[in-house]
């Protein structure tokens, strides 16, 4: 495996759509695997990063666990990439930012319809606490590149990764940048 770049990927407060888009590079995945080796990623099911060359972060930061994972990636990845709209801007999960998270918890677990009697806000220490607001990843750690799109197209991801692998500054031309 010598000479291959190591890549880690994760989805924080995202929908895995960006990972689906990564898989959408289809048979080019085989070509990619000649150049890179996946470390922590849903593809490998490895639970922790070891030192890597590239880290791809899908999704924003909505809870304490996201913060820990993001920090682990930052500490281990030479190049950290915000992949897709939620990582770049907070995206759909950030729509809750206009509401108070305390009131949301209250409504979901205490006062909402159809709850069992005595329902309470879960306080199990195994559960990560939600942050007051959902943040884009660059508000929590330093990010080297931003790849916008919901999701970024397979071609955009392919072109971006190839640029990085070849040691070029990534540049998305016309047609590869999509914001819708």
According to the binding rule CB under 8 A, does residue 112 interact with other proteins?
A: no
* Buried-exposed string 12-43: b where 16+ CB fall within 10 A, e elsewhere: bbbbebbbebbeebeeeeeebeeebebbbbee
Site map for other proteins, 23-52, x if CB under 8 A? ------------------------xx----
Q: Which of 11, 21, 41, 76 binds other proteins (CB under 8 A)?
A: 76
Near other proteins by CB under 8 A: residue from 112, 129, 177, 178: 129
- From 2-10, 16-24, 32-40, 95-103, give the range in contact with other proteins by CB under 8 A: 95-103
Binding segment for other proteins (CB under 8 A), chosen from 3-11, 21-29, 121-129, 148-156, is 121-129
DSSP E strand boundaries for the chain: 5-11, 36-38, 52-58, 61-63, 77-83, 130-135, 145-147
The gap from C-alpha 128 to its chain's centroid, in whole angstroms, comes to: 17
SS3 assignment, position 84: coil
Rule CB under 8 A: which residues touch other proteins? 47-48, 64-65, 67-69, 71-72, 74-76, 100-102, 105-106, 118, 120-133, 135, 139-142
């Amino acid at each position: 495996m010598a000479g291959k770049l190591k890549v880690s990927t994760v989805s924080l407060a995202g929908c895995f759509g960006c990972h689906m888009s990564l898989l959408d590079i289809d048979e080019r995945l085989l070509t990619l695997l000649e150049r890179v080796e996946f470390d922590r990623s849903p593809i490998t099911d490895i639970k922790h990063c070891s030192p890597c060359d590239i880290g791809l972060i899908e999704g924003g930061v909505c809870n304490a666990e996201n913060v820990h994972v993001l920090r682990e990636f930052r500490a281990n990845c030479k190049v950290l990439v915000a992949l897709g709209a939620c990582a770049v801007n907070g995206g759909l999960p950030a729509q809750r930012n206009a509401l108070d998270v305390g009131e949301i918890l209250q409504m979901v677990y205490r006062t909402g319809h159809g709850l069992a009697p005595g329902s309470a806000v879960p306080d199990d220490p195994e559960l990560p606490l939600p942050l007051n607001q959902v943040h884009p990843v660059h508000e929590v750690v330093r990010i080297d590149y931003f790849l916008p799109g919901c999701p970024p197209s397979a071609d955009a991801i392919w072109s971006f990764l190839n640029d990085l692998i070849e040691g070029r500054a990534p540049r998305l031309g016309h047609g590869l940048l999509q914001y819708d």
